[in-house]
Structures are given as structure tokens and as C-alpha cells.
With several copies, the nearest count.
Chain A
Amino acid sequence: MVKIVFFASIREVLGCASLDLNIGKGVSLSRLVAMLGEQRGELWCVALTAENVRVAVNQELVQGDPLLSIGDEIAFFPPVTGG
């Protein structure tokens, strides 16, 4: 199981703030996104792979396509606009 969280415009587009997903060992980030697309539809695939989507694993920004571990918290969000 991993926890997946969404923020700001992505949360709104998906209509979802967080969900839990059962994944096996050795699942990559891109595989996770593909799984979400298969389960929830094309909208998810598009929203989570858009060019400016940031991804954090366990609250650390990641780049590329890391492998995920059971218990990870994966976050998808747009570029930040605070301050």
C-alpha cells in the first residue's frame, strides 16, 4: 500500500485529495501513474503526466522514474506559488 496525495489545481481537476493504493514491490513511479490511468480513466493519465507536474516521494521532490516502496507517500502538485 502507498498513499497518494494531490494538491491545488491537480486535486481540483481529479476531484480527489488523497487515496491509498495497493502496489507490489518494485513498482516505478511511471507504472503507478499508468495504474491510476487504467483504473480511473484518461483524465488522470493526462493530469499526472502534464509537463509541469511536480512529484514528491515522502515529501522530497523526485525527478525521473524512481522505484516506490510500500508505505511511501507520493504527492503530485503544480509549481508552487506561495510567498
Chain B
Amino acid sequence: MSQKIIIQEAPFRMQDEYQKLKSVTRAVGAVAIFVGVVRDINDGADVHGLHLEHYPGMTEREIGKILAMAEDRWPLHAATVIHRVGALDPGDEIVLVGIAAGHRGDAFAACEFVIDYLKTRATFWKKEQTSEGEGWLTTREADLSAAATWEE
């Protein structure tokens, strides 16, 4: 499996990432891509912006482990994870997870698996600026249970 893991401040281009994924081999029949976007609202408060911090080195290792787990579970041709850090505004992309596979079931499952694990294992932290002030986010229960479903 071809893989790409990037942590960057700069925006990414969907088209470029899609082209790379689909072009790794002519055996690719399915590409599933997930993009997370900064919403203008969270838990009822207006969000003005986010600041994303990470642990350089460990983040890439953790994402690498998640991709290795995905590759063990499903036959995949390529995987891309791009996660942005730094200052982000509502409407900005935070994260892209893309999977290329022969068949769509594998692409969908692996894509959702990777983002579910990334949410609970990769060393990123979000600080949110809202109309009620600024604060570090805490882990969402929904994210913990999403990752837990893969362990059943």
C-alpha cells in the first residue's frame, strides 16, 4: 500500500489528493475521501476560530500505526492522511482521509476506521474561540464510542 501522512499549516487541494490516490495502480476501482471542516457552531456556541496544536513526530507515528492496522484489515492500494495545524477559521478544512482500493466496501470501511482512530489516538489538540470565550476542547463521547465499535 502506498501511503502519505502530512501535518501542515497550509490548506490542501482535494483534487490533487484524489488524483494521487486513484493513480497508484490501474487496479483502483474505488476511492473514498473524508474531509473534516471547521463548523461555525459547536455545542451551541458560535465558533469564531480554532487553533490546532500537535506533537510533531508522535502524531505521524500514531497515524502510521492506524494506517498499518487498516492495511491489515482490508486490501488497500493507497492511503492519504493530511491534517492541518495552526489557526483555522470556520469553513476551513481540518483533515482529509483518503483511501483507494479495488472495491468500495473496503475503501469506505478503511476510511471511516482511520478517521475514527485518528480522532482518539493521534496527538492533536483543538482550542476553540467562541462568543463565550476561548477554551481547549475535550474528547467527545461519540468519538470514543465510534473508535470502540471497531474493536468489537
Contacts and interface: CB of A to CB of B under 8 A. Distances in A.
Interface in A35-83: 56, 59-60, 75, 77-83
Given A80-B125, A82-B125, A83-B94, A8 B53 contact: yes
Contacts, number: 69
A39 B36 CA distance: 42
Residue among B95, B121, B125 with most chain A CB within 10 A: B125
Interface stretch (B17-25, B70-78, B133-141): B133-141
A7 B53 CA distance: 8
Interface in B109-152: 115, 118-127, 136-140, 143
Contacts of B83: 82-83
A77 B136 CA distance: 12
A77 B58 CA distance: 12
Given A59-B58, A59-B61, A7 B125 contact: yes
A5 B122 CA distance: 16
B55 A9 contact: no
Nearest to B125: A8
B52 interface: yes
A80 B122 contact: yes
Nearest to A83: B119
Contacts of A82: 52, 54, 83, 94-95, 118-119, 122-126
Contacts of B126: 81-82
Interface of A: 5, 7-9, 12, 56, 59-60, 75, 77-83
Interface of B: 36, 52-55, 57-58, 61, 83, 94-95, 115, 118-127, 136-140, 143
16 contacts: A5-B55, A7-B55, A8-B127, A12-B136, A60-B61, A75-B58, A80-B120, A80-B121, A80-B139, A81-B124, A81-B138, A81-B139, A82-B125, A83-B119, A83-B122, A83-B143
